[in-house]
Structure 1
Amino acid sequence: MANIIISPKGPLDLLSKSEIEALQTSSGNQYHQLFRDCALAVLSTGANSDDGHELLAAHEDFDVEVLSSPRGVKLQLTNAPENAFVDGKMIAGIRNHLFAVLRDIVFIQNQYELWTQQGESITDIVFKTLRNAHALQPRRQPNLVVCWGGHSISEYEYDYTKEVGYRLGLRGLDICTGCGIGAMKGPMKGAAIGHAKQRVENSRFIGITEPGIIASEAPNAVVNQLIIMPDIEKRLEAFVRLGHGIIVFPGGAGTAEEILYILGVLLNEENKDIRLPLIFTGPENSKQYFEDMDRFIGKTLGPEAQSLYKIIVDDPIKVAKVMNKAMRKVYKNRRKLDDAFFYNWSLKIDTNFQYAFDPTHENMAALDLSKGRPAAELAADLRRAFSGIVAGNVKPQGIKAIKEHGPFKLKGDTEIMAELDATLESFVKQKRMKLSGEYTPCYELES
């Protein structure tokens, strides 16, 4: 549609003149471009593509302007994708997501200096971002299940994620995912049906994303609370601080990154008394995926890391029962530690899991993928390696860097590189690296 002006439905904090100016086209400020790209991603929900660079290039004539009015802010959209409208009116869920983008980009802008700090200040600002998004609910007992998994999964894997979500929903459990399609959408869709059957009110389907990937993984329609964190590190911390348990479905490099992140955190000696149940699950036809991941974890991080998760194959009811039972243990654990139910303050996250990693060719080549290091430290660099591969696969800046300078080069011990090569090759063969089309590796491995 050529031009349209929309208002938020429900309350939206008023913006100051300086905040509005920073988001306007004429300011030349980086936050206008950031807001524009995130807004385009939200408006493009349903597009069958995971190429963020392609999406942005296809809509170069799109723009969004923040307008000030006595009753609050409005948005003027120019050449917005038509799929965001029905009979000339914007779909309500997309409109809500659009103003959630505005809310979080303004907050990121205002907290920029704090984001560049480290340690406890990052944990604190992650808390404040979630609080600003009204995602923290103090009077709820533990019931939020974080679901990780790939956007590029098969139909039978997607159906399995829906069935698991349904079984979780029947038990009154809420869902938090990366907000996109595939394994991020399925559990929410299934849980929504389970909640409807149980007449659950105030269901929470929380989607946590980041500017770098939202163009490739636009929020699905089930998400009723959208939150944008500034980068993948803060996004991952938001998941584990907010959630009470984690279920991992089959996926690709991004899912491997998430697995390495949580294992690296849990391997920290200071977290030995923290209850954060972790389940890997998928249908029988996906058994190979978890066998590959389990082997990779054992060969690189060791048996202690393997002891931190439970693998359940082809049994959605068992997954839901195990997770529901674990919620009671999480409740007792938080009470014992005198910790909040709504934010896991007790979890120790080292700074090497909090620093924003810029996956440049130089930084990727400098990763230390060698044996003999503490498992948590190796997990941190392995996570960064997979993070770079995700960037090269689907993030606009990463795709651009690969086109300009060729594949990332990763170096390390022979054994680790052999395991990494086998794992990535299995992802490629199982078509887990890209949603459509032939996959061209964005990496080269050297030992």
Structure 2
Amino acid sequence: MKKVQLNPLGWMSQLSQAEVARLQDASDSELFSMFRNCSLAVLNSGVDEDNFETLFAPYENFDIKLIRRERGVKIELINPPEVAFVDDKLVKGVHEHLFAVLRDLLYMGDKYDLLHEHAPSDGAQITDMVFDMLRHAKALEGNDNVNTIVCWGGHSINQTEYKYTKEVGYQLGLRDMDICTGCGPGAMKGPMKGAAIGHAKQRNKTGRYIGISEPSIIAAEPPNAIVNELIIMPDIEKRLEAFVRLAHGIVIFPGGVGTAEELLYLLGILMNERNHQQPIPVILTGPAGSEEYFEAVDKFIADTLGKEAQKKYQIIVNDPEEVARALCSGLEKVKRYRGAMGDAFSFNWSLKIERDFQQPFIPTHKSMSSLQLDHNQEGSDLASNLRKAFSGIVAGNVKAEGIKQIKKHGPFEITGDKALMSNIDVLLESFVKQHRMKLPGSAYEPCYVVKQK
């Protein structure tokens, strides 16, 4: 049996004895099982696997414990994955990530009672919680420079697309922009890797590579090795809010349903009349050959949300330098707007996010089939419901609970009016055809059925 004890790092090395006692109490809670799984995922950093069962199967004997010491709390690993070690020494980045998991799941989870009825549910309370979690993670420190670019895109992309994400990241890094992604492989790893080279060329030693995940997705997308600031939000809705309030600009690379969910969330917010003046630069980009993908996405947005939604982003194909220049121009507008509004540069308080975009959507067969998917609603409301439909498909594809439901009860049913269902079906089929649902080499079995009323 292999045992490894780890000293606390970062903010977790400055806990009071009362806080350590609370953490030990939390080790007997439901949160601890989540903490164990997320820690195991972090220990598998760099492993290209999006099936939680395959990832966890070899480690049934793995365990993790908290050991109380006068100076704080230690983590003890029992039978950890060898991939996390070099010559029997734990990789430093993995060490840091483990204490980030401890901070976000056990400390913050216990503080906000995240798994129970007392968890924040009011819109303002949720935003305050997102702010507090980012503050505890020190993500807001250094974010006053108005240079944080959130990059979204698929974990299942081809080599041409991956190289392009690196080139875009490189151009951003040369211009001293920091990168924030979902922290996994593919289009999340590429921009960070490219930016790291750009930062090195500019002798920028403070480059930030922020990875924001959530418990049900981190097992399918373990943090890549470039991430130097890991943050785990309680659920996908808090994760998305953290992205948009932290971001100064957003780049969207080719991806599958998860990327479509992120785009729909963003458009739903920007279509709110109270956000019409928000100058957030949003760029959809990919290499030559990705035109078909962007045409499909752009047509879907036009047919479902309309021309107003299309005005919220621009598409740039095969031109990383133009992407970087367009973002530089957009960031100047962000500075002026935040200054005029008296808003913080580090956290976008003035962005209005309706409660429906903040409340967790739990994908079940009932909740998926009950979604209102028709044009008899405001564009922002339709974007919210479409986002939920795509979120359910993500759950069915890669999240443990979603996969279990599909195995037990069969595919989720998505039902709506004929035109809208046709639009959804065409887009999803294009994702399947382009192998964007699962990692290359694995067969995809749809977890959904599209039905017309």
- What's the TM-score bracket when you normalise by the shorter of the two chains? over 0.9
Read off the aligned partner of 1:42 and give its amino acid letter.
V
- The residue identity in structure 2 corresponding to 1:22 is D
Unpaired segments ≥5 residues, structure 2: none
Pair 1:79 & 2:63 matched: no
Contact 2:301/2:310 (<8 A) preserved: yes
Q: 2:218 aligns with which of 209, 214, 220?
A: 214
C-alpha distance after superposition, 1:408-444 (max 9, x if no partner): 0010010010010000000001000001410000000
Q: State the AA in 2 paired with 1:62.
A: F
Question: Are 2:275 and 1:271 aligned?
Answer: yes
- Residue among 413, 420, 444 paired with 2:449: 444
Counterpart contact for 1:23–1:66, Cα < 8 Å: no
Q: CA separation in 1, counterparts of 2:177 and 2:227?
A: 15
Which whole-Å CA distance do the structure 1 matches of 2:125 and 2:402 have between them?
A: 28
Runs of 4+ residues deviating >6 angstroms: none
Structure 2: distance between partners of 1:227 and 1:441: 30
Contact 1:23 1:35 in 2 (8 A): no
**Is the CA contact 2:20–2:73 (under 8 Å) kept in the aligned structure 1?**
no
Residue 114 of structure 2 is aligned to residue 90 of structure 1: no
C-alpha distance in 1, partners of 2:121/2:85?
A: 41
1:298 aligns with one of 302, 305, 313: 302
SS at 1:343 equivalent? coil
- C-alpha contact (below 8 Å) 1:369/1:378 kept by paired residues: yes
SS at match of 2:438: coil
Give the drift of 1:201: 2.8
- Contact in 2 for aligned 1:52/1:394 (Cα 8 Å): yes
The equivalences for 1:219-368 within 5 A come to 219-368=223-372
Residue deviations 1:38-97 (CA, integer Å, cap 9, x gap): 000000112221012332333222110011111211111111110000111100000000
- Greater CA deviation, 242-251 or 65-74? 65-74
Identity of paired residues, percent? Answer: 54
Write out per-residue CA displacement over residues 331-380 of structure 1, whole angstroms, 9 at most, x where no aligned residue: 00100111000000000000110000000111011100011211100000
The DSSP-based 3-state class of the residue aligned with 1:423 is helix
Q: Is the Cα contact below 8 Å between 2:264 and 2:384 reproduced in 1?
A: yes
The Cα of 1:299 is off from its aligned counterpart by 0.5
C-alpha distance in structure 2 between counterparts of 1:50 and 1:139, whole Å: 31
* 8 A contact 2:368–2:412 mirrored in 1: yes
Amino acid at match of 2:39: A
Query: Equivalents in 2 of 1:346, 1:140: separation in Å?
Result: 15
Structure 1 counterpart of 2:43: 43
Residues 344 and 400 from structure 1, CA distance in 2 versus in 1: closer, same or farther, beyond 3 angstroms?
same
How far off its partner does 1:262 sit?
0.2
Which stretch of the first structure deviates more once superposed, 386-395 or 51-60?
51-60
Provide the TM-score with structure 2 as the length reference.
0.96
Q: Is residue 147 of structure 1 aligned with residue 151 of structure 2?
A: yes
Distance 2:143 2:5 in 1: 37
CA 1:321–1:446 in structure 2 vs 1: closer, same or farther (change >3 Å)? same
Match of 2:23 in 1: 20
Residues 47-126 of structure 1: matches in 2 within 5 Å?
47-105=47-105, 106-112=107-113, 115-126=119-130
For residues 97-134 of structure 1, the C-alpha deviation after alignment (integer angstroms, 9 at most, x for no partner) is: 01110011121221126644121111111000100111
CA gap 1:356/1:264 in 2 versus in 1, 3 angstroms: same
One-letter identity of the residue aligned with 2:144: R
C-alpha separation in 2, matches of 1:130 and 1:114: 20
Is 1:418 the equivalent of 2:422?
yes
Judge conservation of contact 1:281–1:313 (CA < 8 Å) in 2.
yes
Give the alignment's TM-score, normalised by structure 1.
0.97
> What is the deviation of 1:235?
0.1
Give unpaired runs (5+ residues) of structure 1: none
CA deviation digits over 1:238-269, x for unaligned, max 9? Answer: 00000101000000000000000000000000
Distance in 2 separating the partners of 1:21 and 1:8: 14
- Structure 1 residues 11 and 377, CA, compared in 2 at 3 Å: closer, same or farther? closer
1:176-228 deviation per Cα after TM superposition (whole angstroms, max 9, x unaligned): 00000100010000000000100113111100000000000011111110000
Matched letter for residue 185 of structure 2: I
1:284 aligned counterpart, secondary structure? coil
89 and 248 in structure 1: CA distance in 2 versus 1, 3 angstrom threshold: same
